Structure 1
Amino acid sequence: MESLNVFILIGAFILFIGLLLGSLSTRVGVPTLLVFLGVGMAAGENGIGGIQFEDVDFAFLISNLALAIILLDGGLRTRLETFRVGLKPALSLATLGVALSAMFTGAFATWLLGVDWRVGLLLGGIIGSTDAAAVFSMIRSAGVRINARVASTLEIESGLNDPMAIFITVLLIDLLLKPDASWGAETLTTLIQQFGVGALLGVGLGILLAELLLRVRSNEGLHALLLCTGGLSLFAITNLLGGSGFLAAYVAGLVAGNWRSGTSDNVLRSMDSMAWLAQSGMFLLLGLLVSPKEMLDSLLPGLAIALFLMLVARPLAVWLSLLPFGFPRREQGFIAWTGLRGAVPIVLAVFPLMSGLDQSRLLFDIVFVVVIASLLLQGTTLGPMARRLKLALPPAAKPLTEVGLEGVDDQFVAQFRIEPGSRADGKALGDLVTPAIRPVALVRAGSSLSLEDNPVLRAGDTLSLLASHGDLEQLSEWFLSSTVALRRFYGDFTVRATVQVADVAMSYGLTGLAEDELALSLEQLFRRRHNTTPVVGDTVDLGGIRLRVRAMDKGRVSLVGIRLPKG
């Protein structure tokens, strides 16, 4: 009994320290995941804890379960509108991009390490995919708001690219163990099966899970537990049927998060706790698995491979994969730099260890160095990089609460606080209300005001509105303080995107515009000028004035900011 309590004490204390330091790490710009790895290594056999942990099978099991929960949580938070924007480029990055990264990195590793080309390519395949846990965590904690096209492409890529990385890893291990085996149509069929079965079961069982949970009235904590256990069951079923359980978990989360009224904020907060527990436990356990003394022998080659991956292989793969989609160079550069490596490469590096391959420990140590270098170099610089490439958007006003109505599709009650100097401050309530946006309650100094009197809104008021998610996103800017930075970014004037280009030209005395563009609306102008779907932050120059997308509604530009030239 005493040994059991000691075991519980050590495990809980390590997890507590990891979570405590992780919660403080963002204040000093250190990636949370790196802290978890560091605490695990410090508690390991070469650290101050001296814990000897070599149970590869147990670490592999926990890592798979944790990744499934993290991917499920990521899918729940992905809006279908942004998924449509980023799906095609993300799919290209998740397939062609992973294969190219693996090929380029594998060739470099073969030359640098002097190993068999199959071992080098195996290493390239292991570190070829981005990691969902790292990407989801770092984008949300970077301290900047990135435009929807880039953010959705990165998040969807990290949710979709695991099947390709697993396929390459398993294929190369089989090739090393069975060098005389023939590879042909059966190999391609396996890859298609991974993607196809994973996607189909993710959609089908995701709908089933969403419908079931809608009919089971439960509190937020129980709802999150049902989501997690249902998602893990889906993960296991998909793997048993030959599909990608990771892909199925992400797609099921996407379906459940957008089905009917979606997932409430309270459930997402509960899921956030589950995701934190999953990623902290996983990275702590993987940190325990590493021997820092052995890893030091692989430090220099690992750093060289990491730098080649970050500065050569990933940028080349991104450029080639995104060629058909017309991404601006700035966005390509940021996507290339945000190719974060995390738990997935470490988990894939366990495959050779479990298979008993020669040089498997070398591969594991190099992969660990690559992951640490990626989190340290890329993870700590995402915010500054986004600002340097001018991809950072001004912060958006987030509702205090947002709850979906049961039995009604895409209708939410959201509560906003009116900030001083915002567009809503001093406006009558009727100025915000439309047939699609209905007021529910207005609270001032702890008292509820009558809505029938069309009260004037004041700073500090709390306003509850009933509307669709798209309308709420568009309306949220009314409650944000109008700062100099906000006006500098969007301009001093805002117009609806249905306004004709000819009307803007007449109002501002613009000349020399193309005749065929004068007949267009501003929304049509953005679609003509941009090769990709417009998103908030995209700009167009019109006769010397700058137009910038300020709000989107159901995939279409709805509001446009106008900034006049200086002087």
Structure 2
Amino acid sequence: MEAFYIVVLVSTTLVLLAAFSSLLAFRFGAPLLLLFLAIGLLAGTDGLGIQFSNNYLAYILGSIALAVILFDSGFGTPVQAFKLAAVPSLTLASVGVLMTASLIGVAAMWLLNLTWLEGLLLGSIVSSTDAAAVFFLLRIGGINIRDKVRSTLEVESGTNDPMAIFLTIALVEVLASGERYHGINIGMLAMFVQQMGLGVILGLLGGMMISLIVSQLETDRGLTPIFVLALALLVFSATGAVGGSGFLAVYVAGIYAGNRKLQGYASIKRFQAGMTWLAQIIMFLVLGLLATPSQFPAIAIPAVLLALFLIFIARPLAIWLSLLPFDYTQQEIGFVAWVGLRGAVSILLAIMPILGGLDNGQIYFNCAFIIVLVSLLVQGWTIKPVAKKLGLIIPPRMGAVDKVEVDLPGAANHELLSYRVVKDSPVLRGERIPRWATPSLVIRDGKSMRYQYAGRLRENDLVYLFVVPSYSRLLDKLFASRAPVEEDDADFFGAFALSPARPAADLDAAYGPGLLNESEKGLTIAELMKHRLGGKADYADRVRLGSIILIVRDLDDQDHITSVGMSLEALEPATALPIFLNLHDIIDRIRDRLKGRRSRETATAATSAGGDEKPQ
């Protein structure tokens, strides 16, 4: 019993230490997941001396934690965001992962003296980005970028794990069997189709099951989030048991369930957020405890070189080739290439060669661990500066909002929102609350009063209102603090303002011809932008028409464009090197170069002809 209490005491202390370390991360901008990993290293064999070498238990705990993280990632992904970035993200999660693994495999053969198959296994282990790291940096790190780029990174990080897991398992089985590798065979393709197909199908069915059970469930409100999480883990384990990808299934189930109006949605989200934090802490602490830093120096130099090769060559090249057919700017492709953080998933996959009994099992683990450390140090600390350098951080649409959603029982067609009145908010400056919102209660200095008798609202008042869900964004504007205005905001949104209702043909007449095709000449500017953006426009979206750029300045509550900016200056290239250009840009550059050559040839010919003429 004393040993049991000591284990509980040490475990709880480590979790608390990791939780308190988040305060340092938020203050100094340090990669939080790196701190979790460092705490595990410091407490392990070469630190405080905690002995933990159970690879199987670490793999089980890590897999369950990853399933919880992926479900929450999917639960918080709007279906519109998934549709917006589905095709490029899935291309990155499949073709991109395969190319990254192959490039790392070639480098590992040379740096670590491995065979091609062994190098490919190491490449597969570190080929996927870490969902926990990416979601933390983008959602909590205050990096405000275009929805298309954010959605691409989030969906990629949520869907590339199954591909990396499949490659790792398949290669471990081939190496463990001692058979020679003869390339991709029918069996491997069938296994891939089975895992991914079952993952998608059972994930959708699981999401439907979760939505149906929660909507029909009549139980204590505190039990609802537990039911949801337990059902998600049921989807994960059942899919894996029948030969599908449980990780893909639980992510798909999260997307489906999160986009349904579930009873107690707000409490489910809060519970999921807490469980995701706990899962990240446990996963990184356990994997940190499992490592033995005294073994790192033996392979430190080749492992660091592999990490740098991954960050600066393999990942950027794979991302560029994968996104070549899609309409991403050079800056956006460069940023996606940089946000390729490796994390717990790579370390978790590095346990598989040890469990498979491979001769170099510990080398894979130590090498992957060093690559993750370098990735978190180099990329995790520089994500925001890189986004700012590339001009991708968009000006805030409005300031901070202090809002809490209060659950209502059943399928109520209203929601109860609680807003704290903050400094410089429109409602504090006297802006009236619209009639379609029903204020019911004000809490001031700890005392509650009906809204009718509260008088003029004061700073720090808590206001409770009933509102139809589709109108809540309008209330956010009323209760938001004033958005900071930077000097370069005008540059971001263009020097000129255009009416969205103007005919798009005016642009073709003024800056064309050839900007529009025949079907687009009858559209308004707003309709043209939505058409070019795939049917949905978002704040700060850009549409390039020849030498001009149209920018969405604002939208109404129905997502209709209400203000458009225009810039006559092309975006500065992300780099002087001819990389990260999409296919459209490459064709344009080739066309411009050919036109320039023809112009020079014509001018040369005219000059020669003029010199040969003899005066009459």
Q: Same fold (TM over 0.5)?
A: yes
TM-score by length of 2: 0.81
The alpha-carbon deviation at position 59 of structure 1 amounts to 0.3
Change (3 A) 1:357 1:387: same
Query: Which residue in the other structure is 1:54 paired with?
Result: 53
1:101-180 map, 5 Å? 101-178=100-177, 179-180=179-180
Query: Which residue in the other structure is 1:271 paired with?
Result: 272
1:79-478 map, 5 Å? 79-178=78-177, 179-180=179-180, 183-218=184-219, 221-261=222-262, 264-395=265-396, 396=398, 397-398=400-401, 400-403=403-406, 408=411, 412-417=415-420, 419-423=422-426, 426=429, 429=432, 432=434, 438-441=437-440, 443=442, 445=444, 447-450=449-452, 462=463, 464=465, 466-469=467-470, 471-473=471-473, 476-478=476-478
- Which segment is superposed worse, 195-204 or 396-405? 396-405
Change (3 A) 1:222 1:261: closer
Change (3 A) 1:213 1:279: same
Q: Distance in 1 between matches of 2:386 and 2:311?
A: 14
Change (3 A) 1:426 1:35: closer
Query: Which residue in the other structure is 1:45 paired with?
Result: 45
Query: Which residue in the other structure is 2:8 paired with?
Result: 8
The alpha-carbon deviation at position 485 of structure 1 amounts to 1.3
Q: Distance in 2 between matches of 1:504 and 1:419?
A: 45
* Kept after mapping to 1: 8 A contact 2:55/2:355: yes
Q: Distance in 1 between matches of 2:407 and 2:498?
A: 28
The alpha-carbon deviation at position 484 of structure 1 amounts to 5.1
The alpha-carbon deviation at position 457 of structure 1 amounts to 7.8
Query: Which residue in the other structure is 1:536 paired with?
Result: 539
Change (3 A) 1:565 1:415: farther
Which letter maps to 2:240?
N
The alpha-carbon deviation at position 336 of structure 1 amounts to 0.9
The alpha-carbon deviation at position 297 of structure 1 amounts to 1.7
Other structure's SS at 1:63 match: helix
Change (3 A) 1:276 1:329: same
Unaligned runs of 5+ in 1: none
> Do residues 521 (structure 1) and 520 (structure 2) align?
no
The alpha-carbon deviation at position 458 of structure 1 amounts to 7.6
Change (3 A) 1:101 1:197: same
The alpha-carbon deviation at position 323 of structure 1 amounts to 1.8
The alpha-carbon deviation at position 351 of structure 1 amounts to 0.6
The alpha-carbon deviation at position 221 of structure 1 amounts to 4.2
* Kept after mapping to 1: 8 A contact 2:215/2:262: no
Decide which of 563, 566, 579 is 1:560's aligned counterpart.
563
Q: Distance in 1 between matches of 2:91 and 2:140?
A: 26
The alpha-carbon deviation at position 548 of structure 1 amounts to 2.7
The alpha-carbon deviation at position 496 of structure 1 amounts to 12
The alpha-carbon deviation at position 21 of structure 1 amounts to 1.5
**Alignment deviations for residues 212-237 of structure 1 (CA, whole Å, 9 cap, x no partner):** 12222445543222222211111110
Q: Distance in 1 between matches of 2:412 and 2:144?
A: 28
- Which segment is superposed worse, 288-297 or 399-408? 399-408
Unaligned runs of 5+ in 2: 570-616
Other structure's SS at 1:209 match: helix
Query: Which residue in the other structure is 1:34 paired with?
Result: 34
The alpha-carbon deviation at position 177 of structure 1 amounts to 2.7
Which letter maps to 1:302?
A
* Kept after mapping to 2: 8 A contact 1:46/1:291: yes
* Kept after mapping to 1: 8 A contact 2:498/2:564: no
Q: Distance in 2 between matches of 1:46 and 1:503?
A: 67
Which letter maps to 1:93?
L
Other structure's SS at 1:161 match: helix
Which letter maps to 1:548?
V
Aligned-pair RMSD on alpha carbons? 3.5
Change (3 A) 1:548 1:13: same
Query: Which residue in the other structure is 1:68 paired with?
Result: 67
Which letter maps to 2:44?
G
Query: Which residue in the other structure is 2:590 paired with?
Result: none
* Kept after mapping to 2: 8 A contact 1:340/1:378: yes
Q: Distance in 2 between matches of 1:500 and 1:329?
A: 30
* Kept after mapping to 1: 8 A contact 2:173/2:356: no
Change (3 A) 1:564 1:69: closer
Query: Which residue in the other structure is 1:548 paired with?
Result: 552
Which letter maps to 2:29?
G
Q: Distance in 2 between matches of 1:410 and 1:356?
A: 57
Change (3 A) 1:85 1:416: farther
**Alignment deviations for residues 381-430 of structure 1 (CA, whole Å, 9 cap, x no partner):** 11222222222234454451225666659864434445454455556547
Change (3 A) 1:205 1:547: closer
Change (3 A) 1:180 1:300: closer
Which letter maps to 2:19?
L
TM-score by length of 1: 0.87
Which letter maps to 2:552?
R
* Kept after mapping to 1: 8 A contact 2:498/2:565: no
Q: Distance in 2 between matches of 1:492 and 1:415?
A: 33
Change (3 A) 1:538 1:7: same
Other structure's SS at 2:53 match: coil
Which letter maps to 1:260?
K
Q: How many residues align?
A: 553
Q: Distance in 2 between matches of 1:313 and 1:266?
A: 42
The alpha-carbon deviation at position 24 of structure 1 amounts to 2.7
* Kept after mapping to 2: 8 A contact 1:326/1:532: no
> Which structure is larger by alpha-carbon Rg, 1 or 2?
2
> Do residues 500 (structure 1) and 497 (structure 2) align?
no
* Kept after mapping to 2: 8 A contact 1:327/1:532: no
